[in-house]
Structure 1
Amino acid sequence: MKRRAHQPGGYTSVELLLVVALSALVIGGAVVSYGTLVRSQPSTSSVVAVPLGLARMQNFFNSNASTSNVAMAPQYGALAEAEVLREQFVTDTISATAVFCLGRDNMNTWRPSVITYNSVLHGELDTPQKFRAHVVANAGVAASLYRDYRNPLNDAAGVPQNASIFVLGYSKYAGYLKVNAIYDIDFVRFTAKTDPNGIHASVKRYGEVENPPNPTLLTYTSDYEVFYPPSAMNATAPAHWATDGFTPLFVTFERATRLALRESVAIDRFKRASERPFYFIWWPDPSARHLGAIPNTFAATDPRQAYNHMAGRTAFMFVVPMFPAL
């Protein structure tokens, strides 16, 4: 039997040249395609100098600047920051003893680390309204700072545009409630011709830090912010986007046993919690393009009418028990 002559392994120069040529074609095509995709995508990196003013900048971020350079929505860098803050919020609420959501119309100017409280003298704080009444009566808080608010359609005053979420924890101080963290959610609308038209949205966390400047007050720790352009672009007619907004920031589901006290349809429709009361809470979503109105077809007697439209505006929705640690 005749044996074949041994053939050396490897590629010939012609084969190598062919592979290199084909690789160049593939890579070149990929680069062209990627460039086309990038150019066809809407800009997500526009930065807006938002004139929040010195008072807001100091209150929100403990900053001495008067403007904040904020990315315009949709903004995926801010989305990553929002995800980090979401995880922190979940961690804070899981270990909490109580969570109280209070609506606001203006800035939050009160961020205590402890609150005076005596269970014998002050009674049970089992609703946000009782918590608000307690701090107004016993902590020197102005009654105008937080709204006496009990879900949408409860009164003709409208839904608060801003909110503060008080996260309470176990206290080692006799006669005091411990505040582990406060989350402030704020929306500022700009319509003047000299301003960038749109809505500035921010979520800030205030908590304890090492060697705080004031041990009785919480300190700014983290945040995310985003600037939403109008849903209808017309700089000369702000009324075209007058319905842009983000409410409610939360709804409170009370114990079903409270139906024993009939109040009104607007109030009673939220008495759905079998055991413990809880909240639905919404945060602004940096990946949303704007805060334009979304149709809502539920009847006013249905609790879903208050928040059905929020499902199309944000992916940041929380279900939080009022008393998580119980």
Structure 2
Amino acid sequence: MAIRLFIDGAAGTTGLEIRARLQGRSEFDLIVLDEAQRKHESARREALHAADIAILCLPDDAARDAVRLADGAATRIIDASSAHRVAKGWAYGFPEIVGHEKIANAKLVSNPGCYPTGFLALVAPLVQEGLLPADWPFTVNAVSGYSGGGNALIDRFQSEPQIAYRAYGLGLGHKHLAEMQTHAGLRHAPVFSPAVVPAHRGMVVDVPLPLSAMSACADVASLRAALVAHFEASAVVRVDMAEMPPAELLLRTDAAPWDGMRLYVFGSADGSQARLVARLDNLGKGASGAAIQNLNIMCSLPETTGLRL
């Protein structure tokens, strides 16, 4: 019997990408509301209660409202918003970090944010192994394609082609910080410098490390080896093992959807500095691809089914 699946917010960017990854998958029977029904609370409540699993592709307040509407149902939920990423009772949907079993057995799963996905993949395993200090004031420099900002930002970039670079979060206190700090096990929230570039999709997350100033820190080779070991079994996350860095890392305006993630560890010649870098698709492993991966795990299906790797 097919698994009944409802995507609340299916007309948004993340929802559309999830539906694209579900094309041709007979394991799921998709519950679809027309445009008028999507605006009616009673229709959404009925769909949420009828589904075996619901994926919420909504703004934070609307996601909280959807959870309220689903109250009393046996429906399992994957929330792609940031509303529940550090909430009690929710499993954090990053199987490579928290373990597959937690997601497989959870009723409530919160999909990670795109920027935190890159940051946590780089930092969390190394802090856990004691190779980076949990009390270090980490900084994060990151750029994303404009699709990460939803329809409003997509429209802005497409209507204002003269925008070459958009730095934001200048008041600090970005909503991703609690997620980064909590799931990396850090004493301090990192200083986060996000920006958007005129590409539809793609993301680079860069964590600089002044190794010589860190009293308790491994060398570059040990950091790389630890990440390789941590993600060795993953079919989604790969660690570049080359000791020599590439000449450049690129984001392309014509990039195809991609649900993987590539991690890099770069070091200076004298070993005094390092950069941990993650490259991913903000709509892939940073959003819709992660939701599909979590959906597969929750349904005891091969986790890469439907993913674009």
TM-score (norm 1): 0.23
Which of the two has greater strand per residue?
A: 1
Which of the two has greater helix per residue?
A: 2
Q: Which is higher, the Rg of structure 1 or of structure 2?
A: 1
TM-score (norm 2): 0.24
